[in-house]
Structure 1
Amino acid sequence: MSTRSALPVIAVAAAVAVLAGCTSTKSDGKKSSGLELVSAGKLTTCTHLPYAPFQVKKSGKIVGFDVDLVDLVAKDLGVKQEIVNTPFEGIETGNSFTIRKCDLAAAGMTITSARDKVMDFSDPYFDATQALLTKTGKPYKKVEDLKGKKLGYQKATTGGIFAKDHGKGVDLVEFEDLGLLLTAVKSGQVDAGINDNGVLFDYVKQNPDTKVTAEFDTGEQYGIGVRTGNDALRKKINAAIKKAKSDGSYDRIYKKWFGAAPKNQKN
Protein backbone atom coordinates (compact mmCIF):
# COMPACT_ATOMS: atom_id res chain seq x y z
CA MET A 1 0.00 0.00 0.00
CA SER A 2 5.69 -0.45 2.48
CA THR A 3 5.83 0.83 2.52
CA ARG A 4 6.35 4.12 1.53
CA SER A 5 9.01 6.79 2.34
CA ALA A 6 8.92 10.25 3.84
CA LEU A 7 9.64 13.51 2.04
CA PRO A 8 9.43 16.85 3.86
CA VAL A 9 6.23 18.65 3.00
CA ILE A 10 6.59 22.14 1.51
CA ALA A 11 3.86 24.56 2.42
CA VAL A 12 2.61 26.46 -0.60
CA ALA A 13 0.31 29.42 -0.81
CA ALA A 14 -2.11 27.58 -3.06
CA ALA A 15 -2.61 24.82 -0.51
CA VAL A 16 -3.20 27.37 2.23
CA ALA A 17 -5.79 29.09 0.07
CA VAL A 18 -7.60 25.80 -0.53
CA LEU A 19 -7.50 24.99 3.17
CA ALA A 20 -8.91 28.38 4.08
CA GLY A 21 -11.90 27.76 1.85
CA CYS A 22 -12.64 24.30 3.23
CA THR A 23 -14.93 23.47 6.10
CA SER A 24 -15.33 20.02 7.54
CA THR A 25 -18.65 18.49 8.46
CA LYS A 26 -19.53 16.91 11.79
CA SER A 27 -20.43 13.27 11.44
CA ASP A 28 -23.62 13.81 13.44
CA GLY A 29 -24.19 17.50 12.83
CA LYS A 30 -23.43 18.24 16.49
CA LYS A 31 -20.46 19.59 18.40
CA SER A 32 -20.63 17.14 21.25
CA SER A 33 -18.29 14.45 19.85
CA GLY A 34 -15.63 16.84 18.52
CA LEU A 35 -15.26 14.53 15.53
CA GLU A 36 -15.16 16.21 12.13
CA LEU A 37 -15.38 14.47 8.76
CA VAL A 38 -14.75 16.03 5.35
CA SER A 39 -18.13 14.75 4.10
CA ALA A 40 -21.22 14.12 6.20
CA GLY A 41 -22.05 10.44 6.68
CA LYS A 42 -18.77 9.23 5.15
CA LEU A 43 -15.35 8.24 6.42
CA THR A 44 -13.16 9.22 3.47
CA THR A 45 -9.99 7.15 3.09
CA CYS A 46 -7.03 8.06 0.90
CA THR A 47 -5.05 5.17 -0.53
CA HIS A 48 -2.83 4.40 -3.51
CA LEU A 49 -3.61 1.44 -5.77
CA PRO A 50 -2.60 -1.24 -6.33
CA TYR A 51 -1.14 -2.56 -3.08
CA ALA A 52 -2.55 -6.05 -2.68
CA PRO A 53 -3.50 -7.52 -0.30
CA PHE A 54 -3.89 -4.24 1.62
CA GLN A 55 -5.91 -2.46 -1.02
CA VAL A 56 -6.65 -3.52 -4.59
CA LYS A 57 -9.51 -3.16 -7.05
CA LYS A 58 -11.38 -6.38 -7.83
CA SER A 59 -14.54 -6.56 -9.93
CA GLY A 60 -14.78 -2.79 -9.82
CA LYS A 61 -14.58 -2.60 -6.01
CA ILE A 62 -11.64 -1.65 -3.79
CA VAL A 63 -11.00 -4.40 -1.25
CA GLY A 64 -8.21 -5.55 1.04
CA PHE A 65 -6.86 -5.87 4.57
CA ASP A 66 -6.70 -2.12 5.16
CA VAL A 67 -10.18 -1.69 3.71
CA ASP A 68 -11.69 -4.23 6.10
CA LEU A 69 -9.87 -2.71 9.07
CA VAL A 70 -11.09 0.82 8.32
CA ASP A 71 -14.60 -0.54 7.78
CA LEU A 72 -14.54 -1.41 11.49
CA VAL A 73 -13.76 2.23 12.30
CA ALA A 74 -16.56 3.43 10.02
CA LYS A 75 -18.99 0.99 11.63
CA ASP A 76 -18.17 2.31 15.09
CA LEU A 77 -18.78 5.85 13.82
CA GLY A 78 -22.07 4.89 12.19
CA VAL A 79 -20.93 5.94 8.70
CA LYS A 80 -19.77 4.30 5.47
CA GLN A 81 -16.20 4.22 4.24
CA GLU A 82 -15.50 5.93 0.91
CA ILE A 83 -12.10 5.29 -0.68
CA VAL A 84 -10.17 7.80 -2.80
CA ASN A 85 -7.31 6.53 -4.96
CA THR A 86 -4.64 9.23 -5.01
CA PRO A 87 -0.87 9.47 -5.64
CA PHE A 88 1.08 8.14 -2.68
CA GLU A 89 3.39 11.14 -2.61
CA GLY A 90 0.41 13.36 -1.78
CA ILE A 91 -0.49 11.06 1.10
CA GLU A 92 2.94 10.71 2.67
CA THR A 93 3.77 14.42 2.44
CA GLY A 94 0.53 15.25 4.26
CA ASN A 95 -0.85 17.28 1.35
CA SER A 96 -3.95 15.08 1.06
CA PHE A 97 -4.91 16.20 4.56
CA THR A 98 -3.97 19.83 3.95
CA ILE A 99 -6.45 20.10 1.08
CA ARG A 100 -9.06 18.03 2.97
CA LYS A 101 -9.13 15.25 0.38
CA CYS A 102 -9.69 12.63 3.06
CA ASP A 103 -10.17 11.98 6.76
CA LEU A 104 -7.53 9.29 7.02
CA ALA A 105 -4.94 7.47 4.97
CA ALA A 106 -4.75 3.68 4.99
CA ALA A 107 -2.16 2.70 2.43
CA GLY A 108 0.19 0.10 3.86
CA MET A 109 2.14 3.08 5.18
CA THR A 110 5.13 2.76 7.47
CA ILE A 111 5.27 5.09 10.46
CA THR A 112 8.43 7.20 10.12
CA SER A 113 9.72 10.26 11.98
CA ALA A 114 9.58 12.34 8.78
CA ARG A 115 5.97 11.41 8.08
CA ASP A 116 5.05 11.99 11.70
CA LYS A 117 5.97 15.65 11.17
CA VAL A 118 3.27 16.14 8.53
CA MET A 119 0.48 13.92 9.92
CA ASP A 120 -0.51 12.04 13.07
CA PHE A 121 -0.54 8.25 13.18
CA SER A 122 -2.74 5.69 14.84
CA ASP A 123 -1.21 2.98 16.97
CA PRO A 124 0.73 0.49 14.80
CA TYR A 125 -1.50 -2.18 13.28
CA PHE A 126 0.86 -4.27 11.11
CA ASP A 127 4.54 -5.29 11.22
CA ALA A 128 6.50 -5.21 7.97
CA THR A 129 10.01 -5.37 6.57
CA GLN A 130 11.63 -4.85 3.20
CA ALA A 131 12.12 -7.80 0.86
CA LEU A 132 13.69 -8.60 -2.51
CA LEU A 133 11.72 -10.00 -5.46
CA THR A 134 13.39 -11.66 -8.44
CA LYS A 135 12.61 -14.06 -11.23
CA THR A 136 12.82 -17.66 -10.03
CA GLY A 137 16.38 -18.99 -10.15
CA LYS A 138 18.17 -15.67 -9.80
CA PRO A 139 20.99 -15.63 -7.20
CA TYR A 140 20.40 -12.20 -5.64
CA LYS A 141 20.12 -12.35 -1.84
CA LYS A 142 20.89 -8.73 -0.91
CA VAL A 143 20.93 -5.33 -2.56
CA GLU A 144 24.72 -5.40 -2.81
CA ASP A 145 24.49 -8.52 -5.02
CA LEU A 146 22.90 -6.35 -7.71
CA LYS A 147 25.97 -4.21 -8.42
CA GLY A 148 25.90 -3.47 -12.14
CA LYS A 149 22.32 -4.77 -12.34
CA LYS A 150 18.93 -3.03 -12.27
CA LEU A 151 16.94 -2.82 -9.04
CA GLY A 152 13.43 -1.40 -9.15
CA TYR A 153 11.71 0.43 -6.30
CA GLN A 154 8.44 2.28 -5.80
CA LYS A 155 8.52 6.07 -5.66
CA ALA A 156 8.36 7.70 -2.21
CA THR A 157 8.75 4.45 -0.31
CA THR A 158 10.91 3.13 2.48
CA GLY A 159 12.02 0.45 0.03
CA GLY A 160 13.43 3.21 -2.13
CA ILE A 161 15.33 4.64 0.83
CA PHE A 162 16.75 1.21 1.68
CA ALA A 163 17.82 0.66 -1.94
CA LYS A 164 19.59 4.02 -2.08
CA ASP A 165 21.33 3.42 1.24
CA HIS A 166 22.63 -0.02 0.25
CA GLY A 167 22.76 0.16 -3.53
CA LYS A 168 26.19 1.59 -4.30
CA GLY A 169 26.98 0.62 -7.88
CA VAL A 170 23.43 -0.65 -8.45
CA ASP A 171 21.36 0.80 -11.30
CA LEU A 172 18.26 1.99 -9.44
CA VAL A 173 15.01 2.33 -11.39
CA GLU A 174 12.02 4.19 -9.92
CA PHE A 175 8.40 3.22 -10.59
CA GLU A 176 5.25 5.23 -9.87
CA ASP A 177 3.34 2.33 -8.30
CA LEU A 178 3.69 -1.25 -7.12
CA GLY A 179 1.94 -2.72 -10.17
CA LEU A 180 4.50 -1.25 -12.55
CA LEU A 181 7.35 -2.45 -10.33
CA LEU A 182 6.05 -6.03 -10.18
CA THR A 183 5.50 -6.13 -13.95
CA ALA A 184 9.06 -4.89 -14.50
CA VAL A 185 10.48 -7.74 -12.41
CA LYS A 186 8.31 -10.36 -14.07
CA SER A 187 9.15 -9.13 -17.60
CA GLY A 188 12.87 -8.82 -16.93
CA GLN A 189 12.91 -5.04 -17.32
CA VAL A 190 14.73 -4.98 -13.97
CA ASP A 191 16.72 -7.77 -12.32
CA ALA A 192 14.99 -7.41 -8.96
CA GLY A 193 12.53 -5.25 -7.07
CA ILE A 194 12.36 -4.11 -3.46
CA ASN A 195 9.18 -3.47 -1.47
CA ASP A 196 7.34 -4.61 1.64
CA ASN A 197 7.38 -8.34 2.35
CA GLY A 198 3.59 -8.61 2.68
CA VAL A 199 2.83 -7.43 -0.85
CA LEU A 200 5.70 -9.38 -2.42
CA PHE A 201 4.74 -12.69 -0.80
CA ASP A 202 1.17 -12.09 -1.93
CA TYR A 203 2.39 -11.56 -5.50
CA VAL A 204 4.48 -14.74 -5.74
CA LYS A 205 1.46 -16.85 -4.76
CA GLN A 206 -0.06 -16.06 -8.15
CA ASN A 207 3.25 -15.73 -10.02
CA PRO A 208 5.37 -18.85 -9.38
CA ASP A 209 7.98 -17.66 -11.89
CA THR A 210 8.96 -15.05 -9.28
CA LYS A 211 10.43 -15.51 -5.81
CA VAL A 212 11.14 -13.53 -2.64
CA THR A 213 14.84 -14.23 -2.18
CA ALA A 214 15.53 -12.15 0.92
CA GLU A 215 13.94 -10.18 3.74
CA PHE A 216 15.73 -7.32 5.45
CA ASP A 217 15.03 -6.69 9.12
CA THR A 218 13.97 -3.04 8.87
CA GLY A 219 11.52 -3.29 11.79
CA GLU A 220 8.77 -1.27 10.15
CA GLN A 221 5.19 -0.85 11.38
CA TYR A 222 2.17 0.43 9.51
CA GLY A 223 -0.07 3.14 10.89
CA ILE A 224 -3.24 4.88 9.74
CA GLY A 225 -2.57 8.56 9.12
CA VAL A 226 -4.83 11.50 10.02
CA ARG A 227 -4.49 15.27 9.76
CA THR A 228 -2.12 16.67 12.39
CA GLY A 229 -4.10 17.52 15.51
CA ASN A 230 -7.13 15.39 14.62
CA ASP A 231 -7.04 13.58 17.94
CA ALA A 232 -10.76 12.83 17.97
CA LEU A 233 -10.50 10.62 14.88
CA ARG A 234 -7.11 9.19 15.85
CA LYS A 235 -8.54 8.02 19.18
CA LYS A 236 -11.52 6.43 17.42
CA ILE A 237 -9.15 4.55 15.11
CA ASN A 238 -7.01 3.37 18.04
CA ALA A 239 -10.10 2.18 19.89
CA ALA A 240 -11.27 0.23 16.82
CA ILE A 241 -7.85 -1.41 16.37
CA LYS A 242 -7.70 -2.36 20.05
CA LYS A 243 -11.22 -3.77 19.96
CA ALA A 244 -10.49 -5.75 16.77
CA LYS A 245 -7.45 -7.35 18.38
CA SER A 246 -9.35 -8.26 21.53
CA ASP A 247 -12.54 -9.64 19.97
CA GLY A 248 -10.88 -11.68 17.20
CA SER A 249 -11.86 -9.43 14.30
CA TYR A 250 -8.23 -8.57 13.54
CA ASP A 251 -7.21 -12.24 13.34
CA ARG A 252 -10.21 -13.00 11.14
CA ILE A 253 -9.38 -10.21 8.69
CA TYR A 254 -5.70 -11.14 8.72
CA LYS A 255 -6.46 -14.78 7.91
CA LYS A 256 -8.85 -13.71 5.15
CA TRP A 257 -6.14 -11.77 3.30
CA PHE A 258 -2.96 -13.64 4.26
CA GLY A 259 -4.25 -17.19 4.55
CA ALA A 260 -3.12 -17.78 8.13
CA ALA A 261 -3.43 -16.27 11.58
CA PRO A 262 -0.89 -13.54 12.39
CA LYS A 263 2.43 -14.63 13.87
CA ASN A 264 4.91 -12.52 15.78
CA GLN A 265 3.00 -9.29 15.30
CA LYS A 266 4.33 -6.93 17.93
CA ASN A 267 1.03 -5.21 18.56
Structure 2
Amino acid sequence: MVLAGCNAQNGSTTTTSDPVPSATRTSSSTTASASSKSGSPNGALAAGSRLDAILAAKKLKVCTTGDYRPFSYLDPKTKQRSGIDVTMVQNLATSLEVPIEWVPTTWKTLMPDFTRKCDIAVGGVSISTERAQKAFFSDPVVTEGKTPITLCSNVSKYSTVAQINQPGVRAITPEGGTNEKFARANFPKAKIIVWGDNNTIFDQIIAGKADVMTTDASETVWVANTQPKLCAVHPQKPFNFSQKAYLLPRGDVAWQEYVNEWLNIARHDGTWAAATKPWFGATRLG
Protein backbone atom coordinates (compact mmCIF):
# COMPACT_ATOMS: atom_id res chain seq x y z
CA MET A 1 0.00 0.00 0.00
CA VAL A 2 1.44 3.34 -1.04
CA LEU A 3 1.06 6.42 1.10
CA ALA A 4 -0.29 9.55 -0.56
CA GLY A 5 -1.03 12.99 0.87
CA CYS A 6 -1.82 14.12 4.43
CA ASN A 7 -4.22 16.14 6.55
CA ALA A 8 -3.43 18.04 9.74
CA GLN A 9 -5.09 17.88 13.16
CA ASN A 10 -3.89 18.63 16.68
CA GLY A 11 -2.12 15.99 18.75
CA SER A 12 1.18 14.75 20.18
CA THR A 13 4.01 12.84 18.59
CA THR A 14 6.58 10.17 19.37
CA THR A 15 9.01 8.62 16.91
CA THR A 16 11.33 5.66 16.96
CA SER A 17 12.18 4.37 13.50
CA ASP A 18 12.77 0.71 12.83
CA PRO A 19 16.59 0.45 12.82
CA VAL A 20 16.92 -2.42 10.35
CA PRO A 21 17.35 -1.31 6.70
CA SER A 22 14.71 -2.56 4.31
CA ALA A 23 15.46 -4.50 1.17
CA THR A 24 13.70 -6.46 -1.53
CA ARG A 25 11.70 -9.38 -0.16
CA THR A 26 12.96 -12.89 -0.64
CA SER A 27 10.65 -15.61 -1.90
CA SER A 28 8.20 -17.04 0.61
CA SER A 29 9.25 -20.47 -0.59
CA THR A 30 12.38 -20.30 1.60
CA THR A 31 12.76 -23.65 3.32
CA ALA A 32 13.10 -24.26 7.02
CA SER A 33 15.45 -27.23 6.90
CA ALA A 34 18.16 -25.57 8.97
CA SER A 35 15.82 -24.34 11.68
CA SER A 36 13.88 -27.60 11.76
CA LYS A 37 17.02 -29.36 12.97
CA SER A 38 17.68 -26.76 15.63
CA GLY A 39 14.58 -27.39 17.71
CA SER A 40 13.54 -23.73 17.47
CA PRO A 41 9.80 -23.06 17.96
CA ASN A 42 9.89 -21.37 14.55
CA GLY A 43 11.57 -24.34 12.90
CA ALA A 44 10.25 -27.87 12.47
CA LEU A 45 6.71 -28.34 11.24
CA ALA A 46 6.51 -32.04 12.14
CA ALA A 47 3.96 -31.29 14.84
CA GLY A 48 1.86 -29.24 12.40
CA SER A 49 1.53 -25.60 11.50
CA ARG A 50 1.74 -22.76 13.99
CA LEU A 51 -1.88 -22.16 13.03
CA ASP A 52 -2.81 -25.49 14.62
CA ALA A 53 -0.72 -24.69 17.69
CA ILE A 54 -2.42 -21.31 18.14
CA LEU A 55 -5.87 -22.85 17.94
CA ALA A 56 -4.88 -25.62 20.35
CA ALA A 57 -3.28 -23.24 22.85
CA LYS A 58 -6.20 -20.80 22.50
CA LYS A 59 -3.91 -17.76 22.41
CA LEU A 60 -1.92 -15.69 19.90
CA LYS A 61 1.55 -14.66 21.07
CA VAL A 62 2.41 -11.26 19.60
CA CYS A 63 5.82 -9.58 19.73
CA THR A 64 5.85 -5.78 19.47
CA THR A 65 8.15 -3.00 20.68
CA GLY A 66 5.37 -0.57 21.55
CA ASP A 67 7.55 2.45 20.72
CA TYR A 68 6.81 3.22 17.08
CA ARG A 69 3.69 5.20 16.36
CA PRO A 70 1.64 5.09 14.19
CA PHE A 71 2.07 1.31 14.18
CA SER A 72 2.52 0.29 17.81
CA TYR A 73 2.58 2.28 21.03
CA LEU A 74 2.43 1.30 24.69
CA ASP A 75 1.41 4.21 26.88
CA PRO A 76 3.84 4.22 29.84
CA LYS A 77 1.20 5.63 32.19
CA THR A 78 -1.98 3.80 31.25
CA LYS A 79 -0.27 0.67 29.85
CA GLN A 80 -2.80 0.80 27.03
CA ARG A 81 -1.68 -0.27 23.56
CA SER A 82 -2.59 1.58 20.39
CA GLY A 83 -1.51 1.79 16.78
CA ILE A 84 -2.42 0.56 13.33
CA ASP A 85 -0.75 -2.82 13.77
CA VAL A 86 -2.16 -3.22 17.27
CA THR A 87 -5.68 -2.80 15.89
CA MET A 88 -4.94 -5.12 12.99
CA VAL A 89 -3.49 -7.96 15.06
CA GLN A 90 -6.43 -7.69 17.45
CA ASN A 91 -8.66 -8.30 14.44
CA LEU A 92 -6.48 -11.25 13.44
CA ALA A 93 -6.93 -12.74 16.92
CA THR A 94 -10.68 -12.23 16.62
CA SER A 95 -10.68 -14.17 13.35
CA LEU A 96 -8.97 -17.03 15.22
CA GLU A 97 -11.30 -16.65 18.22
CA VAL A 98 -8.35 -16.49 20.62
CA PRO A 99 -7.00 -13.80 22.99
CA ILE A 100 -3.63 -12.09 22.54
CA GLU A 101 -0.62 -12.64 24.76
CA TRP A 102 1.56 -9.55 24.26
CA VAL A 103 5.30 -10.21 24.32
CA PRO A 104 7.41 -7.06 24.88
CA THR A 105 10.54 -6.75 22.78
CA THR A 106 12.99 -4.14 21.46
CA TRP A 107 14.31 -3.52 17.97
CA LYS A 108 17.68 -4.88 19.07
CA THR A 109 16.21 -8.13 20.40
CA LEU A 110 13.27 -8.50 18.00
CA MET A 111 14.55 -11.48 16.03
CA PRO A 112 15.71 -13.66 18.95
CA ASP A 113 12.59 -12.79 20.94
CA PHE A 114 10.37 -13.59 17.97
CA THR A 115 11.97 -16.91 17.13
CA ARG A 116 11.77 -18.08 20.75
CA LYS A 117 8.52 -16.63 21.99
CA CYS A 118 6.05 -15.41 19.36
CA ASP A 119 3.63 -16.48 16.65
CA ILE A 120 3.77 -13.11 14.88
CA ALA A 121 5.60 -9.79 15.28
CA VAL A 122 3.99 -6.46 14.37
CA GLY A 123 4.58 -2.76 14.89
CA GLY A 124 6.15 -1.22 11.79
CA VAL A 125 8.51 -4.10 11.02
CA SER A 126 10.53 -3.40 7.87
CA ILE A 127 11.19 -6.15 5.36
CA SER A 128 14.90 -6.90 5.01
CA THR A 129 16.96 -9.72 3.59
CA GLU A 130 18.69 -10.02 6.96
CA ARG A 131 15.38 -10.79 8.65
CA ALA A 132 14.23 -12.96 5.74
CA GLN A 133 17.10 -15.34 6.49
CA LYS A 134 15.44 -16.13 9.80
CA ALA A 135 11.72 -15.61 9.24
CA PHE A 136 8.90 -15.31 6.73
CA PHE A 137 6.96 -12.10 6.10
CA SER A 138 3.31 -11.53 5.37
CA ASP A 139 2.33 -9.62 2.26
CA PRO A 140 3.47 -5.98 2.62
CA VAL A 141 1.06 -3.66 4.43
CA VAL A 142 2.85 -0.40 3.56
CA THR A 143 5.19 0.53 0.72
CA GLU A 144 7.14 3.69 1.45
CA GLY A 145 10.61 5.11 2.10
CA LYS A 146 12.39 8.06 3.68
CA THR A 147 10.86 11.47 3.03
CA PRO A 148 11.19 14.92 4.66
CA ILE A 149 8.88 16.63 7.11
CA THR A 150 9.19 20.35 7.78
CA LEU A 151 7.16 23.48 8.43
CA CYS A 152 4.39 23.76 5.86
CA SER A 153 5.83 27.11 4.81
CA ASN A 154 9.17 25.43 3.99
CA VAL A 155 8.02 22.47 1.91
CA SER A 156 9.43 23.89 -1.33
CA LYS A 157 12.80 24.57 0.35
CA TYR A 158 13.42 21.00 1.52
CA SER A 159 11.90 18.72 -1.09
CA THR A 160 15.09 17.18 -2.52
CA VAL A 161 18.25 15.63 -1.12
CA ALA A 162 20.28 18.39 -2.79
CA GLN A 163 18.24 21.11 -1.08
CA ILE A 164 18.69 19.54 2.34
CA ASN A 165 22.36 18.74 1.79
CA GLN A 166 23.47 22.35 2.09
CA PRO A 167 25.62 24.20 4.65
CA GLY A 168 23.39 25.89 7.17
CA VAL A 169 20.47 23.49 6.83
CA ARG A 170 19.72 21.96 10.22
CA ALA A 171 18.64 18.35 9.67
CA ILE A 172 17.44 16.77 12.89
CA THR A 173 17.38 13.02 13.43
CA PRO A 174 16.74 10.56 16.25
CA GLU A 175 19.84 8.94 17.69
CA GLY A 176 20.69 5.65 16.02
CA GLY A 177 18.55 3.71 13.60
CA THR A 178 17.85 4.14 9.92
CA ASN A 179 17.00 7.85 10.12
CA GLU A 180 20.43 8.88 11.42
CA LYS A 181 22.11 6.50 8.99
CA PHE A 182 20.21 8.02 6.07
CA ALA A 183 20.92 11.59 7.20
CA ARG A 184 24.66 11.04 7.57
CA ALA A 185 24.90 9.24 4.24
CA ASN A 186 22.89 11.77 2.25
CA PHE A 187 23.33 15.12 4.01
CA PRO A 188 27.10 15.40 4.72
CA LYS A 189 27.11 19.15 4.08
CA ALA A 190 24.14 19.90 6.34
CA LYS A 191 24.31 20.39 10.08
CA ILE A 192 23.11 17.09 11.57
CA ILE A 193 21.35 17.52 14.91
CA VAL A 194 21.08 14.24 16.81
CA TRP A 195 18.14 14.42 19.22
CA GLY A 196 17.82 11.97 22.07
CA ASP A 197 14.20 12.57 23.09
CA ASN A 198 11.82 11.05 20.58
CA ASN A 199 8.84 12.63 22.31
CA THR A 200 10.00 16.17 21.49
CA ILE A 201 11.95 15.83 18.25
CA PHE A 202 9.27 17.31 15.99
CA ASP A 203 8.74 20.16 18.46
CA GLN A 204 12.25 21.33 17.58
CA ILE A 205 11.16 22.04 14.01
CA ILE A 206 8.07 23.90 15.19
CA ALA A 207 10.20 25.94 17.62
CA GLY A 208 12.62 26.91 14.85
CA LYS A 209 15.55 24.98 16.34
CA ALA A 210 15.75 22.61 13.36
CA ASP A 211 14.71 22.91 9.73
CA VAL A 212 13.79 19.44 8.57
CA MET A 213 13.70 15.77 9.51
CA THR A 214 13.78 12.82 7.12
CA THR A 215 11.98 9.70 8.30
CA ASP A 216 9.58 7.01 7.12
CA ALA A 217 6.78 8.38 4.93
CA SER A 218 4.15 6.74 7.13
CA GLU A 219 5.50 8.58 10.15
CA THR A 220 5.53 11.93 8.34
CA VAL A 221 1.89 11.46 7.35
CA TRP A 222 0.93 10.67 10.94
CA VAL A 223 2.86 13.63 12.37
CA ALA A 224 1.37 16.00 9.79
CA ASN A 225 -2.05 14.71 10.80
CA THR A 226 -1.40 15.67 14.43
CA GLN A 227 0.69 18.84 14.03
CA PRO A 228 -0.97 21.52 11.83
CA LYS A 229 2.28 23.47 11.36
CA LEU A 230 4.14 20.49 9.91
CA CYS A 231 3.76 18.97 6.45
CA ALA A 232 4.94 15.71 4.96
CA VAL A 233 6.95 16.38 1.79
CA HIS A 234 5.90 14.13 -1.12
CA PRO A 235 5.26 11.01 1.05
CA GLN A 236 3.97 9.24 -2.06
CA LYS A 237 7.39 9.73 -3.73
CA PRO A 238 10.00 9.02 -1.04
CA PHE A 239 13.77 9.19 -1.51
CA ASN A 240 14.19 5.41 -1.28
CA PHE A 241 12.18 2.19 -1.07
CA SER A 242 11.04 0.12 1.87
CA GLN A 243 8.09 -2.02 2.88
CA LYS A 244 6.54 -2.98 6.17
CA ALA A 245 4.91 -6.33 6.90
CA TYR A 246 4.20 -8.79 9.69
CA LEU A 247 6.94 -11.18 10.80
CA LEU A 248 6.03 -14.88 10.71
CA PRO A 249 7.82 -18.16 11.52
CA ARG A 250 10.20 -19.31 8.83
CA GLY A 251 9.00 -22.33 6.86
CA ASP A 252 5.38 -22.28 8.08
CA VAL A 253 3.51 -21.80 4.80
CA ALA A 254 0.11 -22.73 6.24
CA TRP A 255 0.27 -19.97 8.89
CA GLN A 256 1.66 -17.49 6.37
CA GLU A 257 -1.18 -18.25 3.94
CA TYR A 258 -3.78 -17.83 6.68
CA VAL A 259 -2.36 -14.43 7.66
CA ASN A 260 -2.24 -13.31 4.02
CA GLU A 261 -5.83 -14.41 3.37
CA TRP A 262 -6.97 -12.58 6.51
CA LEU A 263 -5.00 -9.51 5.43
CA ASN A 264 -6.54 -9.58 1.95
CA ILE A 265 -10.03 -9.62 3.45
CA ALA A 266 -9.11 -6.83 5.90
CA ARG A 267 -7.93 -4.63 3.04
CA HIS A 268 -11.27 -4.96 1.29
CA ASP A 269 -13.86 -5.04 4.09
CA GLY A 270 -12.93 -1.74 5.74
CA THR A 271 -10.80 -3.17 8.57
CA TRP A 272 -7.53 -1.66 7.30
CA ALA A 273 -9.19 1.68 6.53
CA ALA A 274 -10.67 1.84 10.03
CA ALA A 275 -7.30 1.00 11.61
CA THR A 276 -5.42 3.71 9.71
CA LYS A 277 -7.97 6.53 9.90
CA PRO A 278 -7.20 7.66 13.50
CA TRP A 279 -3.53 8.01 12.53
CA PHE A 280 -3.63 9.22 8.94
CA GLY A 281 -6.91 11.12 8.92
CA ALA A 282 -8.24 11.45 5.38
CA THR A 283 -4.99 10.24 3.84
CA ARG A 284 -5.61 7.83 1.00
CA LEU A 285 -3.70 4.59 0.92
CA GLY A 286 -3.34 3.01 -2.52
One of 233, 247, 250 as aligned partner of 2:255: 233
Aligned pair 1:107/2:129, yes or no?
no
Hey, what does 2:212 align to over in structure 1? Answer: 192
Q: Deviations over 1:197-225 (max 9, x none)?
A: 22222223332333324542534321101
Gaps of 5+ in 2: 1-15, 23-37
Query: 1:122 is matched with which residue?
Result: 138
State how many pairs are aligned: 241
Which structure shows the bigger proportion of residues in strand conformation?
1
Question: 1:70 aligns to what?
Answer: 89
Distance 2:217 2:50 in 1: 38
Shift in alpha-carbon separation, 1:21–1:33, aligned structure 2, 3 A: closer
Kindly indicate whether residue 158 of structure 2 is the aligned counterpart of residue 140 of structure 1.
yes
**CA shift in 2, pair 1:179/1:131, >3 Å:** farther
Q: Is the 8 A contact 1:73 1:236 kept in 2?
A: no
Letter in 1 for 2:108: E
Find the residue that maps to 2:147 and give its secondary structure.
Answer: strand
Answer 1 or 2: higher relative contact order, Cα 8 Å, separation at least 6.
Answer: 2
**Cα distance in structure 2, aligned partners of 1:61 and 1:34:** 27
Q: Within 5 A, what are the aligned runs for 1:162-181? A: 162-172=182-192, 178-179=198-199, 181=201
TM-score (structure 1 length as normaliser): 0.72
Task: Quote the residue 2:20 is aligned against.
Answer: 5
Distance in 1 separating the partners of 2:88 and 2:149: 27
Tell me if structure 2 keeps the 8 A contact 1:153–1:193.
Answer: no
What CA RMSD, in Å, does the superposition of the two structures yield over aligned residues? 3.4
Q: Which deviates more from structure 2 when the two are superposed, residues 203-212 or residues 69-78?
A: 203-212
Corresponding residue number in structure 1 for 2:243: 221
**TM-score in terms of structure 2 length:** 0.68
1:43 aligned onto 2:43: no
Identical columns (%): 24
Q: Relative to structure 1, is the Cα distance of residues 85 and 211 closer, same or farther in structure 2, using a 3 angstrom cutoff?
A: farther
Name stretches of at least 5 consecutive residues in structure 1 with no aligned partner.
8-19, 25-30
CA distance in structure 2 between the aligned counterparts of 1:258 and 1:87, rounded to whole angstroms: 25
Query: Which amino acid is the alignment partner of residue 253 of structure 1?
Result: A
